[in-house]
Structure 1
Protein backbone atom coordinates (compact mmCIF):
# COMPACT_ATOMS: atom_id res chain seq x y z
CA UNK A 1 0.00 0.00 0.00
CA UNK A 2 1.19 3.51 -0.76
CA UNK A 3 1.91 5.61 2.29
CA UNK A 4 2.59 9.24 3.13
CA UNK A 5 3.44 10.35 6.63
CA UNK A 6 2.34 13.47 8.41
CA UNK A 7 3.39 13.55 12.08
CA UNK A 8 2.09 10.33 13.66
CA UNK A 9 -0.51 9.62 10.96
CA UNK A 10 0.43 7.67 7.84
CA UNK A 11 -2.01 7.86 4.92
CA UNK A 12 -2.55 4.87 2.62
CA UNK A 13 -4.46 4.70 -0.66
CA UNK A 14 -4.96 1.77 -2.99
CA UNK A 15 -7.08 0.56 -5.90
CA UNK A 16 -8.49 -2.77 -7.08
CA UNK A 17 -10.96 -3.90 -9.71
CA UNK A 18 -14.35 -5.28 -8.73
CA UNK A 19 -16.50 -7.68 -10.73
CA UNK A 20 -19.58 -6.03 -12.21
CA UNK A 21 -21.77 -8.97 -11.25
CA UNK A 22 -20.62 -8.64 -7.62
CA UNK A 23 -21.31 -4.92 -7.16
CA UNK A 24 -24.62 -5.27 -5.32
CA UNK A 25 -23.31 -7.91 -2.92
CA UNK A 26 -20.08 -5.99 -2.30
CA UNK A 27 -22.03 -2.84 -1.42
CA UNK A 28 -24.44 -4.84 0.73
CA UNK A 29 -21.58 -6.37 2.74
CA UNK A 30 -19.96 -2.99 3.30
CA UNK A 31 -23.25 -1.33 4.24
CA UNK A 32 -23.39 -3.77 7.18
CA UNK A 33 -19.78 -4.61 8.07
CA UNK A 34 -19.21 -7.23 10.72
CA UNK A 35 -18.48 -5.62 14.12
CA UNK A 36 -15.53 -7.98 14.67
CA UNK A 37 -13.90 -6.83 11.43
CA UNK A 38 -14.33 -3.16 12.33
CA UNK A 39 -12.92 -3.87 15.79
CA UNK A 40 -9.90 -5.61 14.26
CA UNK A 41 -9.26 -2.65 11.96
CA UNK A 42 -9.25 -0.33 14.97
CA UNK A 43 -7.01 -2.71 16.95
CA UNK A 44 -4.65 -2.61 13.96
CA UNK A 45 -4.41 1.18 14.32
CA UNK A 46 -6.49 1.94 11.23
CA UNK A 47 -8.83 4.91 11.30
CA UNK A 48 -10.69 7.15 8.86
CA UNK A 49 -11.12 4.23 6.44
CA UNK A 50 -13.21 4.71 3.30
CA UNK A 51 -13.78 2.69 0.13
CA UNK A 52 -15.14 4.40 -2.99
CA UNK A 53 -16.54 2.82 -6.15
CA UNK A 54 -16.27 4.17 -9.69
CA UNK A 55 -16.77 2.97 -13.25
CA UNK A 56 -14.24 3.91 -15.91
CA UNK A 57 -15.24 4.71 -19.51
CA UNK A 58 -14.15 1.20 -20.56
CA UNK A 59 -16.98 -0.17 -18.40
CA UNK A 60 -14.76 -1.69 -15.70
CA UNK A 61 -15.46 -0.94 -12.04
CA UNK A 62 -12.78 -0.04 -9.50
CA UNK A 63 -12.60 0.40 -5.76
CA UNK A 64 -10.44 3.13 -4.24
CA UNK A 65 -9.51 2.64 -0.59
CA UNK A 66 -8.10 5.22 1.80
CA UNK A 67 -7.17 4.90 5.47
CA UNK A 68 -4.96 6.45 8.08
CA UNK A 69 -2.56 4.39 10.18
CA UNK A 70 -1.61 5.61 13.65
CA UNK A 71 0.49 2.71 14.95
CA UNK A 72 4.23 2.24 15.15
CA UNK A 73 4.69 -1.08 13.31
CA UNK A 74 2.54 -1.29 10.17
CA UNK A 75 3.85 -4.68 9.05
CA UNK A 76 3.19 -6.29 12.45
CA UNK A 77 -0.30 -4.80 12.65
CA UNK A 78 -1.17 -6.01 9.14
CA UNK A 79 0.22 -9.47 9.90
CA UNK A 80 -1.90 -9.67 13.06
CA UNK A 81 -4.99 -8.55 11.16
CA UNK A 82 -4.27 -11.13 8.45
CA UNK A 83 -4.33 -13.94 11.00
CA UNK A 84 -7.58 -12.84 12.67
CA UNK A 85 -10.19 -15.59 12.01
CA UNK A 86 -13.16 -13.25 11.52
CA UNK A 87 -11.18 -10.97 9.18
CA UNK A 88 -10.07 -14.01 7.16
CA UNK A 89 -13.70 -15.11 6.94
CA UNK A 90 -14.69 -11.60 5.75
CA UNK A 91 -11.98 -11.70 3.09
CA UNK A 92 -13.25 -15.11 1.95
CA UNK A 93 -16.44 -13.28 0.94
CA UNK A 94 -14.91 -10.08 -0.48
CA UNK A 95 -11.75 -11.33 -2.22
CA UNK A 96 -13.55 -13.41 -4.88
CA UNK A 97 -15.47 -10.26 -5.89
CA UNK A 98 -12.28 -8.30 -6.50
CA UNK A 99 -9.96 -8.19 -9.51
CA UNK A 100 -6.39 -7.38 -8.45
CA UNK A 101 -4.43 -5.22 -10.87
CA UNK A 102 -1.57 -6.93 -12.68
CA UNK A 103 0.92 -4.19 -11.78
CA UNK A 104 0.43 -4.41 -8.00
CA UNK A 105 3.44 -5.07 -5.79
CA UNK A 106 4.33 -8.70 -5.18
CA UNK A 107 2.45 -9.98 -2.15
CA UNK A 108 -0.15 -7.18 -2.25
CA UNK A 109 -3.81 -7.70 -3.11
CA UNK A 110 -4.71 -4.03 -3.69
CA UNK A 111 -2.46 -1.80 -5.86
CA UNK A 112 -0.76 0.90 -3.81
CA UNK A 113 -1.22 4.48 -4.98
CA UNK A 114 1.22 7.36 -4.72
CA UNK A 115 0.12 10.50 -2.91
CA UNK A 116 0.86 13.54 -5.06
CA UNK A 117 -0.90 16.20 -2.98
CA UNK A 118 -2.11 16.67 0.59
CA UNK A 119 -3.55 19.63 2.47
CA UNK A 120 -4.00 19.55 6.25
Structure 2
Protein backbone atom coordinates (compact mmCIF):
# COMPACT_ATOMS: atom_id res chain seq x y z
CA UNK A 1 0.00 0.00 0.00
CA UNK A 2 1.30 3.44 -0.86
CA UNK A 3 0.01 6.95 -0.24
CA UNK A 4 -0.23 9.36 -3.13
CA UNK A 5 -0.61 13.13 -2.72
CA UNK A 6 -1.17 15.78 -5.36
CA UNK A 7 -2.52 19.25 -5.88
CA UNK A 8 -5.05 20.54 -8.39
CA UNK A 9 -6.36 24.01 -9.13
CA UNK A 10 -9.96 25.16 -8.66
CA UNK A 11 -11.35 28.16 -10.53
CA UNK A 12 -12.20 31.21 -8.45
CA UNK A 13 -15.71 31.11 -7.02
CA UNK A 14 -16.29 27.40 -7.75
CA UNK A 15 -15.86 26.00 -4.23
CA UNK A 16 -19.55 25.35 -3.58
CA UNK A 17 -20.02 23.71 -6.98
CA UNK A 18 -16.93 21.52 -6.53
CA UNK A 19 -18.19 20.38 -3.12
CA UNK A 20 -21.71 19.76 -4.45
CA UNK A 21 -20.43 17.59 -7.29
CA UNK A 22 -18.32 15.51 -4.91
CA UNK A 23 -21.16 15.22 -2.39
CA UNK A 24 -23.12 13.67 -5.28
CA UNK A 25 -20.23 11.50 -6.53
CA UNK A 26 -21.48 9.07 -9.12
CA UNK A 27 -21.82 5.54 -7.73
CA UNK A 28 -20.08 4.12 -10.81
CA UNK A 29 -17.05 6.38 -10.20
CA UNK A 30 -16.95 5.46 -6.52
CA UNK A 31 -17.00 1.78 -7.47
CA UNK A 32 -14.32 2.24 -10.13
CA UNK A 33 -11.99 3.93 -7.64
CA UNK A 34 -12.55 1.18 -5.06
CA UNK A 35 -12.00 -1.56 -7.68
CA UNK A 36 -8.77 0.20 -8.67
CA UNK A 37 -7.43 -0.14 -5.13
CA UNK A 38 -8.00 3.44 -4.01
CA UNK A 39 -9.13 4.10 -0.46
CA UNK A 40 -8.95 6.70 2.28
CA UNK A 41 -9.20 9.35 -0.43
CA UNK A 42 -9.52 12.95 0.77
CA UNK A 43 -9.41 16.30 -1.00
CA UNK A 44 -8.78 19.51 0.92
CA UNK A 45 -9.09 23.10 -0.29
CA UNK A 46 -6.78 26.03 0.50
CA UNK A 47 -9.37 28.81 0.24
CA UNK A 48 -6.70 31.51 -0.05
CA UNK A 49 -5.20 30.05 -3.22
CA UNK A 50 -7.96 27.77 -4.60
CA UNK A 51 -5.45 24.93 -4.56
CA UNK A 52 -6.92 21.50 -3.92
CA UNK A 53 -4.78 18.98 -2.04
CA UNK A 54 -5.61 15.31 -2.56
CA UNK A 55 -4.26 12.30 -0.72
CA UNK A 56 -5.21 8.65 -1.13
CA UNK A 57 -4.05 5.17 -0.32
CA UNK A 58 -3.29 3.06 -3.37
CA UNK A 59 -3.25 -0.73 -3.13
CA UNK A 60 -2.70 -1.37 -6.85
CA UNK A 61 -0.52 1.18 -8.62
CA UNK A 62 -0.95 -0.49 -12.01
CA UNK A 63 -4.75 -0.24 -11.72
CA UNK A 64 -4.48 3.42 -10.69
CA UNK A 65 -2.38 4.17 -13.77
CA UNK A 66 -5.12 2.65 -15.93
CA UNK A 67 -7.84 4.98 -14.59
CA UNK A 68 -7.30 7.68 -17.27
CA UNK A 69 -8.31 5.11 -19.91
CA UNK A 70 -11.64 4.23 -18.30
CA UNK A 71 -14.80 5.77 -19.84
CA UNK A 72 -16.26 6.70 -16.42
CA UNK A 73 -13.10 8.58 -15.50
CA UNK A 74 -13.11 10.42 -18.83
CA UNK A 75 -16.78 11.33 -18.34
CA UNK A 76 -16.05 12.67 -14.82
CA UNK A 77 -13.18 14.79 -16.08
CA UNK A 78 -15.37 16.27 -18.82
CA UNK A 79 -17.99 17.04 -16.15
CA UNK A 80 -15.42 18.80 -13.94
CA UNK A 81 -13.42 20.74 -16.55
CA UNK A 82 -15.55 23.89 -16.31
CA UNK A 83 -14.67 24.48 -12.65
CA UNK A 84 -10.98 23.59 -12.48
CA UNK A 85 -7.80 23.88 -14.49
CA UNK A 86 -7.78 21.03 -17.01
CA UNK A 87 -5.49 19.53 -19.62
CA UNK A 88 -6.51 19.14 -23.29
CA UNK A 89 -7.82 15.61 -22.52
CA UNK A 90 -10.02 17.13 -19.75
CA UNK A 91 -7.94 15.54 -16.96
CA UNK A 92 -7.32 17.97 -14.12
CA UNK A 93 -4.00 19.76 -14.08
CA UNK A 94 -2.35 17.87 -11.24
CA UNK A 95 1.02 18.24 -9.56
CA UNK A 96 2.37 15.21 -7.67
CA UNK A 97 3.68 15.94 -4.19
CA UNK A 98 6.62 14.25 -2.51
CA UNK A 99 6.06 12.89 0.97
CA UNK A 100 8.65 14.26 3.38
CA UNK A 101 7.11 13.21 6.70
CA UNK A 102 4.61 10.63 7.91
CA UNK A 103 3.57 9.64 11.41
CA UNK A 104 1.30 6.69 12.07
Scaled by the length of structure 2, the TM-score of the pair is: 0.84
Aligned length: 100
Runs of 5+ unmatched residues, structure 1: 1-8, 101-107
Q: Which has the larger radius of gyration?
A: 1
Cross-structure match for 1:117: 101
Cross-structure match for 2:50: 61
Whether 2:99 is the aligned partner of 1:99: answer no
- Any conservation in 1 of the 2:58–2:64 contact (CA below 8 Å)? no
Runs of 5+ unmatched residues, structure 2: 87-91
Deviations 1:34-78 (A, max 9, x none): 00001000111111000011123xxx311000000112xx2x313
Superposed CA RMSD in Å reads: 2.0
Using the alignment, how far apart are the partners of 2:64 and 2:59 within structure 1?
A: 12
Instruction: Give the SS at the match of 1:90.
Output: helix
Segments ≥4 residues shifted beyond 3 Å: none
Scaled by the length of structure 1, the TM-score of the pair is: 0.74
